[in-house]
Amino acid sequence: MKTHTEYLWFNTQSKREYINITSDVREILSKSKINEGMALVSAMHITAGVYVNDAESGIIHDIDEWLERIAPFNPDYQHHNTGETNGDAHLKSLIMHHEVIVPITDGKLDLGPWQQIYYAEFDGKRKKRLIVKIMGA
Protein backbone atom coordinates (compact mmCIF):
# COMPACT_ATOMS: atom_id res chain seq x y z
CA MET A 1 0.00 0.00 0.00
CA LYS A 2 1.27 3.46 -0.94
CA THR A 3 0.11 6.94 -0.01
CA HIS A 4 0.99 10.24 -1.62
CA THR A 5 0.07 13.63 -0.16
CA GLU A 6 0.23 17.13 -1.60
CA TYR A 7 -1.32 20.46 -0.72
CA LEU A 8 -2.74 23.10 -3.08
CA TRP A 9 -2.91 26.77 -2.09
CA PHE A 10 -5.49 29.32 -3.22
CA ASN A 11 -5.77 33.07 -2.81
CA THR A 12 -8.75 34.14 -4.88
CA GLN A 13 -9.36 37.64 -6.27
CA SER A 14 -13.05 37.62 -5.40
CA LYS A 15 -14.97 36.50 -2.34
CA ARG A 16 -16.64 33.60 -4.14
CA GLU A 17 -14.90 31.64 -6.86
CA TYR A 18 -15.16 28.18 -8.46
CA ILE A 19 -11.86 26.74 -9.64
CA ASN A 20 -11.47 23.61 -11.77
CA ILE A 21 -8.66 21.60 -10.13
CA THR A 22 -9.05 18.38 -12.13
CA SER A 23 -5.72 18.77 -13.94
CA ASP A 24 -3.93 19.56 -10.64
CA VAL A 25 -5.28 16.36 -9.09
CA ARG A 26 -4.38 14.42 -12.24
CA GLU A 27 -0.81 15.69 -12.05
CA ILE A 28 -0.51 14.74 -8.38
CA LEU A 29 -1.85 11.28 -9.23
CA SER A 30 0.75 10.82 -11.94
CA LYS A 31 3.53 11.67 -9.45
CA SER A 32 2.11 9.16 -6.94
CA LYS A 33 2.63 6.15 -9.25
CA ILE A 34 -0.55 4.69 -7.76
CA ASN A 35 -2.60 2.58 -10.18
CA GLU A 36 -5.54 1.39 -8.10
CA GLY A 37 -7.03 3.23 -5.17
CA MET A 38 -8.78 6.38 -4.03
CA ALA A 39 -7.90 10.08 -4.01
CA LEU A 40 -9.25 12.22 -1.19
CA VAL A 41 -9.55 15.88 -2.23
CA SER A 42 -10.46 17.93 0.82
CA ALA A 43 -10.59 21.65 1.66
CA MET A 44 -8.78 22.43 4.91
CA HIS A 45 -10.97 25.45 5.70
CA ILE A 46 -14.52 25.75 6.99
CA THR A 47 -15.68 28.31 4.43
CA ALA A 48 -14.70 26.43 1.27
CA GLY A 49 -15.91 23.33 -0.51
CA VAL A 50 -14.86 20.64 -2.96
CA TYR A 51 -17.37 19.13 -5.36
CA VAL A 52 -17.61 17.21 -8.62
CA ASN A 53 -19.79 18.61 -11.39
CA ASP A 54 -19.82 20.25 -14.81
CA ALA A 55 -17.14 22.58 -16.24
CA GLU A 56 -19.81 24.79 -17.85
CA SER A 57 -19.98 28.50 -17.03
CA GLY A 58 -23.79 28.63 -17.01
CA ILE A 59 -24.22 25.95 -14.35
CA ILE A 60 -21.46 27.52 -12.24
CA HIS A 61 -23.41 30.79 -12.34
CA ASP A 62 -26.60 28.86 -11.44
CA ILE A 63 -24.89 27.07 -8.51
CA ASP A 64 -23.64 30.40 -7.17
CA GLU A 65 -27.08 32.08 -7.40
CA TRP A 66 -28.77 29.04 -5.87
CA LEU A 67 -26.35 28.91 -2.94
CA GLU A 68 -26.98 32.60 -2.26
CA ARG A 69 -30.71 31.88 -2.29
CA ILE A 70 -30.70 28.94 0.15
CA ALA A 71 -27.75 30.08 2.33
CA PRO A 72 -27.80 33.88 1.93
CA PHE A 73 -25.50 36.53 3.29
CA ASN A 74 -27.22 37.87 6.39
CA PRO A 75 -25.79 40.34 8.92
CA ASP A 76 -27.76 38.67 11.72
CA TYR A 77 -26.00 35.30 12.01
CA GLN A 78 -24.96 34.69 15.64
CA HIS A 79 -21.53 33.69 14.34
CA HIS A 80 -20.98 37.39 13.58
CA ASN A 81 -20.77 38.15 17.31
CA THR A 82 -17.20 36.84 16.97
CA GLY A 83 -16.41 39.74 14.62
CA GLU A 84 -16.66 37.58 11.49
CA THR A 85 -19.12 38.38 8.67
CA ASN A 86 -18.92 35.03 6.88
CA GLY A 87 -21.74 32.97 8.41
CA ASP A 88 -23.17 32.39 4.93
CA ALA A 89 -19.82 30.95 3.77
CA HIS A 90 -19.99 28.28 6.49
CA LEU A 91 -23.49 27.27 5.38
CA LYS A 92 -22.56 27.24 1.69
CA SER A 93 -19.58 25.02 2.56
CA LEU A 94 -21.85 22.60 4.44
CA ILE A 95 -24.26 22.23 1.49
CA MET A 96 -21.51 21.64 -1.04
CA HIS A 97 -19.25 19.69 1.36
CA HIS A 98 -15.58 20.05 1.85
CA GLU A 99 -14.34 16.80 0.32
CA VAL A 100 -14.76 14.22 -2.40
CA ILE A 101 -13.25 10.80 -2.97
CA VAL A 102 -12.27 10.06 -6.56
CA PRO A 103 -11.67 6.45 -7.65
CA ILE A 104 -8.39 5.60 -9.38
CA THR A 105 -8.34 2.82 -11.97
CA ASP A 106 -5.43 1.91 -14.26
CA GLY A 107 -3.48 4.92 -13.00
CA LYS A 108 -6.23 7.38 -13.98
CA LEU A 109 -8.96 9.35 -12.22
CA ASP A 110 -11.97 7.14 -12.95
CA LEU A 111 -14.42 10.00 -13.62
CA GLY A 112 -17.45 10.02 -15.88
CA PRO A 113 -17.35 11.98 -19.15
CA TRP A 114 -18.52 15.30 -17.65
CA GLN A 115 -17.22 15.01 -14.09
CA GLN A 116 -14.71 17.69 -13.10
CA ILE A 117 -13.31 18.40 -9.62
CA TYR A 118 -13.91 21.94 -8.32
CA TYR A 119 -12.58 23.94 -5.41
CA ALA A 120 -15.35 26.29 -4.27
CA GLU A 121 -14.23 29.39 -2.38
CA PHE A 122 -16.92 31.12 -0.32
CA ASP A 123 -14.77 33.54 1.70
CA GLY A 124 -11.73 34.29 -0.39
CA LYS A 125 -9.14 37.01 -0.83
CA ARG A 126 -6.95 35.15 1.65
CA LYS A 127 -4.65 32.12 1.60
CA LYS A 128 -6.51 28.82 1.82
CA ARG A 129 -5.25 25.26 1.60
CA LEU A 130 -6.52 21.95 0.23
CA ILE A 131 -5.14 18.44 0.70
CA VAL A 132 -4.93 15.72 -1.91
CA LYS A 133 -4.17 12.33 -0.35
CA ILE A 134 -3.98 9.31 -2.60
CA MET A 135 -4.01 5.81 -1.17
CA GLY A 136 -3.66 2.55 -3.10
CA ALA A 137 -1.19 0.33 -4.88
Distance CA 60, CA 54 (A): 8
Kindly identify the residues of this chain, within the stretch 55-94, that bind a copy of itself according to CB under 8 A: 56-59, 61-63, 66, 70-71, 77-82, 87, 90-91, 93-94
Nearest approach, Cβ of residue 115 and a copy of itself (Å)? 6
Closest CA to 100 of 39, 45, 56, 55: 39
Distance CA 32, CA 127 (A): 25
Q: x/- contact string, 14-43, with a copy of itself (CB under 8 A)?
A: ----------------------xxx-x-xx
Question: Is the distance from CB of 45 to CB of 128 less than 8 angstroms?
Answer: yes
- Cα 12 → chain centroid: 13
If one asks whether residue 45 binds a copy of itself (CB under 8 A), the answer comes out as yes
The site for a copy of itself (CB under 8 A) is made up of 1, 3, 5, 36-38, 40, 42-46, 51-54, 56-59, 61-63, 66, 70-71, 77-82, 87, 90-91, 93-101, 103, 105, 110-115, 129, 131, 133, 135-137
